[in-house]
Amino acid sequence: MSTHEYYVDGDPIADTKAPDGPINERWERRRFTGRLVNPSNRRKLRVIVVGTGLAGASAAATLGELGYRVSNYCFQDSPRRAHSIAAQGGINAAKNYRNDGDSVYRLFYDTVKGGDFRSRESNVHRLAEVSTEIIDQCVAQGVPFAREYGGLLDNRSFGGAQVSRTFYARGQTGQQLLLGAYQALERQVAAGTVELHTRHEMLELVVVEGRARGIVVRDLVTGEVTTEIGDAVVLATGGYGNVFFLSTNAKGCNVTASWRAHRQGAYFANPCYTQIHPTCIPQSGEHQSKLTLMSESLRNDGRVWVPKAHGDDRAPADIPEDERDYYLERRYPAFGNLVPRDIASRAAKAVCDEGRGVGPGGLGVYLDFADAIGRLGEDAVKAKYGNLFDMYERITGENPYERPMRIYPAVHYTMGGLWVDYDLQSNIPGLFVTGEANFSDHGANRLGASALMQGLSDGYFVLPNTISDYLADGPFEAVPEGHEAVDAARKAVDDRIAFFLGNDGDRTVDSFHRELGKIMWEYCGMERTDEGLRKAIGLIRDLKDEFYKRVKVTGKAAELNQELEKAGRVADFFELGELMCIDALHRTESCGGHFRAESQTQDGEALRDDEHFSYVAAWEFAESEPVLHKESLEFEYVKPTQRSYK
């Protein structure tokens, strides 16, 4: 069936900055061909960095060290609270400290394959190369990674990898990496190179004569709206998993910065690629405001199972071994409990759909540590996972040392994001995008411990090198007061605020967000169908209309107004949600986290369609139908094969 009623075809696009030649020389070549900015000129250039997570703080700190004038923004009260702080499990790097056969090439290979052949080889190879420098950098900053008795760094293997290349700091790796970047950032604040604006939210991008030149921000404490002008804008504003309302993301995570840029012309790539994480604590009721991840590292020692019999509601300890179905070990003997996330999530959904799920509503499977405790002892298990077990108990009231955890998949990460070229520049000159906010390195599925790696790779090493090629043409002409582009951006923000506060509504923002999330989860979640997606698009459009008619926002503009903040974010989620469904509808193949029920192998695995879909779908905003630009993907090194973890 044609899906063309929802979009129009545009011209194909190419990544014009991607170097060619042998893959292991491309990054070096690009660094050499990119132009540099003379140190004495750098202080004449102002770079606006939005976001203080791993991708933003590392970029802002490094650009400051290089001598640029940096203005850095976040909506939290401190840069240290960016959502990156919550990452638990670890960060990958091809150090091969274990001598277990790892290498840059293997990390590259695993990431391309793990992404189900929907990422760019050049980018992924660069990521793998840079990975080793990240660990060096973080250790030099004093990041307290886990160590062995000899004093050297410890490693573990992480979801889907057969080598131990994951560096970690107990279950708080993201926290420690972010604090490292945050401290480097605060050092630059003290040095006067970075100006920090916390509790500020970017609400619009300013594009002047085709270049990204600034942002419109609202001071969340006073409500004051201002326009900030610079020579380049970097968005490091994170992922959009909260379009589902319930996700493992922090409550404030949102798509507004990216979406506003998209509305100004920046392409949004592969929006439907979302990652559903298999090991989260199941929902307990309607009051649920977020879902909590239980680190994937738990699958190293925990065994996943459900009862063999449908509707078996005995306590787990009363179910004998031979009446349990360790379904991952059964279906995937080679990888067992360590299959990649998308596969583990779908397998959990499948057993629950069969009526074999456990816990409230039958939406859960067991993650059982009894064997590990028997083998290693409770103390060893506690040393490895103690904080996660404590967290589980606080949330559920159940003790996982005695009773298997209940887990269920939840939205976790978004591989899609603003389209960028090899330089991390969007199609709007001067607009750069780093970290989870861009689309570039993980294809249709991200491997565990690779987001932290990408965020820091982008921020510490890639962007500071590539942005100079653009800034070499600066400083750009001053943007005069009252320039029409500035006024228009400013007016759009003011109008929106006035609309929300003036609307005579009767429903809360959260009630709409929850309902939108349900639609997204039902039809654009773990399994997608042509029929379901069409239905979802209709439901989203109707709900969006109702939102504008009935949403009620209390309070004033000139004060701390958390309802107003939420209203703007949810408004953008509506538009994004629709685009995600259109993207998912047009991609009739299954790949990575995108599973189309119509496209599966006989034994229920995702079936790619390389002939028709080996491309990045980059969407251009239009008030009517979005325009699809395709960037075709070439695989010179890792030849596409059907992924198999059997």
Partner 1 sequence: MKLRLRIWRQAGAEDKGKMVPYVIDGISEDASFLEMLDVLNEQLIAEGEDPVAFDHDCREGICGACSLMIDGQAHGPQGATTTCQLHMRQYSDGDTIDIEPWRAGAFPVVKDLVVDRSSFDRIIQAGGYISAPTGTAPDAHAVPVPKPDADAAFSAAACIGCGACVAACPNGSGMLFMAAKVAHLGLMPQGQPERHTRVLGMVAAHDEAGFGGCTNTGECSAACPKEIGLDVIGRLNADFRKAATRAA
Ligand X SMILES: Cc1cc2nc3c(=O)[nH]c(=O)nc-3n(C[C@H](O)[C@H](O)[C@H](O)COP(=O)(O)OP(=O)(O)OC[C@H]3O[C@@H](n4cnc5c(N)ncnc54)[C@H](O)[C@@H]3O)c2cc1C
Q: Which does 555 bind (CB under 5 to 8 A by kind): ligand X, partner 1, none?
A: partner 1
Distance CA 84, CA 271 (A): 21
* Shorter beta-carbon distance to partner 1: residue 186 or 329: 186
Q: Which does 461 bind (CB under 5 to 8 A by kind): partner 1, ligand X, none?
A: partner 1
* Shorter beta-carbon distance to ligand X: residue 242 or 614: 242
100 and 625 Cβ atoms separated by less than 8 Å: no
Closest approach, Cβ 353 to ligand X, in A, equals 25
Closest approach, Cβ 89 to ligand X, in A, equals 3
Q: Characterize the bridge pairing of strands 232-235 and 225-229.
A: unpaired
Q: Which does 510 bind (CB under 5 to 8 A by kind): ligand X, partner 1, none?
A: partner 1
Closest approach, Cβ 291 to partner 1, in A, equals 10
Closest approach, Cβ 59 to partner 1, in A, equals 10
Q: Which does 562 bind (CB under 5 to 8 A by kind): partner 1, ligand X, none?
A: partner 1
Distance CA 429, CA 548 (A): 33
- Please name the residues in contact with 558: beta carbons below 8 A apart, sequence gap of 6 or more: 222, 223, 224
Return the residue nearest ligand X (CB atom): 53
Residue 228 to residues 76, 79, 115, 232, 410, Cα–Cα distance (Å): 19, 19, 37, 11, 37
Distance CA 184, CA 65 (A): 9
Closest approach, Cβ 402 to partner 1, in A, equals 18
- Rule CB under 6 A: which residues touch ligand X? 50-56, 73-76, 82-84, 86-91, 173-174, 201-202, 236-239, 248-249, 253-254, 256-257, 293, 412-413, 435-437, 449-452, 455
The strands making up 324-325's β-sheet, listed across from edge to edge, are 274-280, 405-414, 365-368, 303-307, 324-325
**CB count in 10 Å sphere of residue 24:** 15
* Shorter beta-carbon distance to ligand X: residue 9 or 136: 136
* Shorter beta-carbon distance to partner 1: residue 336 or 555: 555
- Please name the residues in contact with 93: beta carbons below 8 A apart, sequence gap of 6 or more: 107, 131, 132, 134, 135, 165, 167, 453
Q: Which does 422 bind (CB under 5 to 8 A by kind): partner 1, ligand X, none?
A: none
Distance CA 267, CA 276 (A): 24
Q: Which does 51 bind (CB under 5 to 8 A by kind): ligand X, partner 1, none?
A: ligand X
Residue 367 to residues 170, 297, 302, 371, 469, Cα–Cα distance (Å): 20, 12, 6, 11, 50
Distance CA 631, CA 427 (A): 12
The strands making up 200-208's β-sheet, listed across from edge to edge, are 200-208, 211-219, 225-229
* Shorter beta-carbon distance to ligand X: residue 278 or 505: 278
Closest approach, Cβ 343 to partner 1, in A, equals 25
367 phi and psi, to 5 degrees? -125, 110
* Shorter beta-carbon distance to partner 1: residue 483 or 514: 514
Q: Which tokens in the block code for residue 243?
A: 């379009």
Among candidate residues 629, 627, 604, 610, the one with its CA nearest the CA of residue 618: 629
Closest approach, Cβ 453 to ligand X, in A, equals 6
Q: Which does 53 bind (CB under 5 to 8 A by kind): ligand X, partner 1, none?
A: ligand X
- Mark whether 341 is an active-site residue: yes
* Shorter beta-carbon distance to partner 1: residue 119 or 561: 561
Q: How far apart are the first and last CA of the chain?
A: 33
- Please name the residues in contact with 60: beta carbons below 8 A apart, sequence gap of 6 or more: 49, 52, 70, 72, 185, 188, 194, 459
Q: Which tokens in the block code for residue 477?
A: 């002409």
Closest approach, Cβ 477 to ligand X, in A, equals 26
560 and 229 Cβ atoms separated by less than 8 Å: no
Distance CA 431, CA 211 (A): 8
Closest approach, Cβ 415 to partner 1, in A, equals 21
3-state per-residue secondary structure call for 151-202: CCECCECCCCCCCCCEECCCCCHHHHHHHHHHHHHHHHHHHCCEEEECCEEE
- How many CA atoms does the CB half-sphere of 231 hold within 13 Å? 21
Closest approach, Cβ 464 to partner 1, in A, equals 7
SS3 621: coil
Catalytically annotated residue among 341, 356, 569, 643:
341
Q: Which does 176 bind (CB under 5 to 8 A by kind): partner 1, ligand X, none?
A: partner 1
Q: Characterize the bridge pairing of strands 232-235 and 46-50.
A: parallel
Q: Which tokens in the block code for residue 639?
A: 């030849």
Q: Which tokens in the block code for residue 271?
A: 């929006």
Q: What is the DSSP string of 362-385?
A: G--EEEE-HHHHHHH-HHHHHHHH
**Which residues carry out catalysis?**
341
